[in-house]
Amino acid sequence: MHAYLVVGQNQNLVSAEIDVLIKSLGARRLDYELSTIDDVRQLKKSVSLSLGEPTAIVGLNFHLSSIPAQNAFLKSLEEPVSNLFYILSSSSIDLVSETIASRCSVIEISQTEKVDVEVVDLAEAFLTKMTIGERLVSLSKIKSRDDALLFVQNLIVGGHQIMIQEQKYERSMEAAIKTLRAIRLNGNVSLQLTNLAIIA
């Protein structure tokens, strides 16, 4: 197998699993951002040269990649290169294209590990306790794209944990994922967060 997908919400455990996997492959590690089509194109250029030693391309938080980027990356998976391995990580297998997941050896980290309590509390407050007006006021304090991405990612992780426990908020998580992708594709931060406040 030349491609692996490590799935889990505990980043420490996911990182540890990736380290073990790289050691077992006897490969050197190269981290790549795979959020956009341009990122994937840059990766293709980098790996088009022959590799003299086993190399593991690590794409962390692949669930944050845009749909077009995931589709473009699929072509790389379908054209194996000698001495090249792909290792992707995601907080949930549901956030990765089914076709990509089917071409990877999936390693699921136990979901019984605790997600940061603050992240779950943030998601619960936003989804269940705040009115739309309170959400808008809270989100209006977020000014930078990086802060917006961090907030929405934490909302997804915390909300996913609540979904596992209580089997609800699926619609809200879909809205959060859509918002995250829109912001990563340079959508207007304020507009995307406002839509999230109303829809979630």
Instruction: Give the fold, CATH level 3, of 3-108.
Output: Rossmann fold (3.40.50)
Give the start-to-end residue ranges of the domains of the chain: 3-108, 117-199
Mark residue 128 as left, alpha or beta (left: phi above 0; alpha: psi -120 to 50; beta: remaining): alpha
* pLDDT (tens place) for every residue of the chain, 200 residues total: 689 999 988 777 788 788 878 887 889 999 999 999 999 999 988 887 767 889 999 999 999 898 899 999 998 888 878 889 999 999 989 889 999 999 999 988 765 445 577 878 888 899 889 999 999 999 999 988 888 888 887 887 777 777 766 656 777 877 887 787 788 777 899 999 998 888 87
| Predicted pLDDT of residue 164 | 64
- CB of 62 closer than 8 Å to CB of 92: no
Distances in Å between the Cα of 69 and the Cα atoms of 33, 64, 87, 160, 188 are: 11, 10, 16, 23, 20
The dihedral of CA 199, 115, 5, 61: what is its sign? positive
* Paired tokens of 186: 């340079």
Side by side, which strands form the sheet with 105-108? 28-31, 55-59, 84-90, 3-7, 105-108
Distance from C-alpha of 86 to C-alpha of 100, rounded to nearest angstrom: 11
> β-strand 3-7 against 105-108: which pairing, if any?
parallel
Distances in Å between the Cα of 53 and the Cα atoms of 63, 66, 68, 134 are: 28, 30, 30, 54
Give tens-digit pLDDT for 81-113: 888 999 999 998 988 999 999 999 998 876 544
Give tens-digit pLDDT for 29-42: 999 999 999 999 99
**Residue 152: count of CB within 10 angstroms of its CB:** 27
Q: What predicted TM-score, i.e. pTM, was given to this entire model?
A: 0.56
